[in-house]
Structures are given as C-alpha cells and as structure tokens.
Amino acid sequence: MAKGKKTGGRDWSKTNQPKVRGKKALPADLRKARELTKANLEGLLNKYLWMTKDELESILSKQNPDVPMIEMMIGSIVHKALVEGDTKRFDFILNRTIGKVADKIDLNAFSENLDKAGEAQIIDLGIEAVKYLKTAEG
C-alpha cells in the first residue's frame, strides 16, 4: 500500500483465496540431503582420516547395507587418496576440513615497480595487457 491507499491487486477473503498456496513441500530425499551440514561433513572426514588402513578397507569391502552412501563415498575418496597417492583427492579432503589456503597477492611490489618505470614502459605494459585480454576472450 502506498500511503494507506490500495494500489491494485485482488481483494482476498475467506471465500476468495488464491489457487496456489505457498511453495510445494520438498521431497523427503532432498530434505534429508539438506541436513548434511559443514560440521557433519567435517566429522565424517575426520572419522575416516583417523582410521587405520585395515579399518578403512574392512568397511569398504563389507558392502554393509547399514552404512550410508555419503560415508561410503568419503571412505572411498580417502582410500583412493591413500592407495593411489592422488593429491587432488587429498587436497579436496583438506579443503573441506581445514579450509582452502588463502592466496596472498602483494600489490605494493607492483605499484613500486610502476613508480620507478617511465611513461613509455607503462604504455607498453598497458598495450601488452590489452593484447592479453583480447586473446583470453577469444
């Protein structure tokens, strides 16, 4: 309402209700998937990271129907990272438990070099940057 005046739309009453009321309920499987929080995932990762190799292999080889698939997936990732020495899998695990390492960029060093550079060098750098951007686009 604008300043207490109705600006349009329908008048809803007990007898005149909208046909669709609210959002549809999520399916049960999606509701269950939303329950997986970061803390739960970290707990599962830590559980499998601190197991011995024999414990992990016994869990993965038993095909136990009571073990949830998310645990089997995480166990499989940990096992392959261990057996195959796959650094990408290990990086995935560390990024999920510890967090990604922040990249530090020192802009001061670049600005100091620009201060020392002459006008012609700065123009050349700009031309090179434009060429790089054009090749990156196409």
**pLDDT tens readout for residues 92-107:** 777 777 777 777 776 6
How far apart (Å, rounded) are the C-alpha atoms in residues 5 and 46?
Answer: 59
Judge whether 51 lies within some domain: yes
Is residue 113 included in any domain, yes or no?
yes
The whole-angstrom separation of Cα 57 and Cα 124 is 59
**Whether residue 85 is found in the same domain as residue 129:** no
The answer on 81 and 121 residing in a single domain is: no
Are both 44 and 66 inside the same structural domain?
yes
* Domain-embedded: residue 18: no
Span 66-89, pLDDT tens digits: 788 888 888 888 888 888 887 787
Is the model's pLDDT at 130 over the cut of 80?
yes
| Domain total of the chain | 2
**pLDDT of 1 strictly over 60:** no
State the chain's mean pLDDT as an integer: 78
Q: Are residues 93 and 111 in the same domain?
A: no
pLDDT digits (tens, 9 = 90+) for 39-71: 888 888 888 888 888 888 888 887 677 788 888
Kindly state whether residues 87 and 128 are assigned to the same domain.
Answer: no
Q: What percent of the chain has pLDDT over 90?
A: 0
Parent domain of 68? 35-97
pTM, entire model: 0.47
Segment 10-17 shows an average pLDDT of 77
| Residue owning tokens 């650094």 | 87
CB atoms under 10 Å from CB of 96, counted, come to 16
> What backbone phi and psi angles, to 5 degrees, belong to 13?
-140, -175
Token pair for 33: 């998937």
Domain membership of residue 54 (yes or no) is: yes
Same domain, 39 and 57: yes
